[in-house]
Amino acid sequence: MIYDTKTALVLRADLAAWQIANVAAFLTGGLMAGNPEMAGEPYLDGAGRFYSALVREPVFVYGASLDELRRTHQRALSRGLRPAIYIDAMFKTTNDADNRAAVAAADAEALDFVGIGVHGQRKVIDKVINKLKFFGA
């Protein structure tokens, strides 16, 4: 099935394995909170046990440099998207309030991105991520 929408995560290519998993989880959770249509239906196993819904469509993961992340951020904003972001300072925090404080304290014109997540119409997202390569490719 091809969806009209697309979800993409753009992660800084030099992250450690634990950082990749952490940032991807935070960004995907943030996008799904802001775009509830991303959620599929709950799962049910053969014994009748229910499980949480997952994201209903593929999530594409791209690698990027800091400059490419900043370009992606600007492209997303210029197209009216509300991206999920993760900056380097958030690795030093342990809770949501401190994460938000770290972003609020950062220079908005020089955010030290380690990840950006976007969700929207497929054609719009394709323009936002244009020329990026899949993570690890």
Q: Domain limits of the chain?
A: 5-134
Averages of pLDDT over each 10 residues, the chain, 137 residues: 94 97 98 96 98 97 98 98 98 97 96 98 98 94
**Stated pTM of the model:** 0.96
Tell the CATH topology of 5-134.
Bit1 (3.40.1490)
Question: Cβ(132)–Cβ(72) under 8 Å?
Answer: yes
Residue type present at position 71: R
Reference 87, options 30, 5, 32; nearest CA is 30
| Separation CA 73–CA 82 (nearest Å) | 9
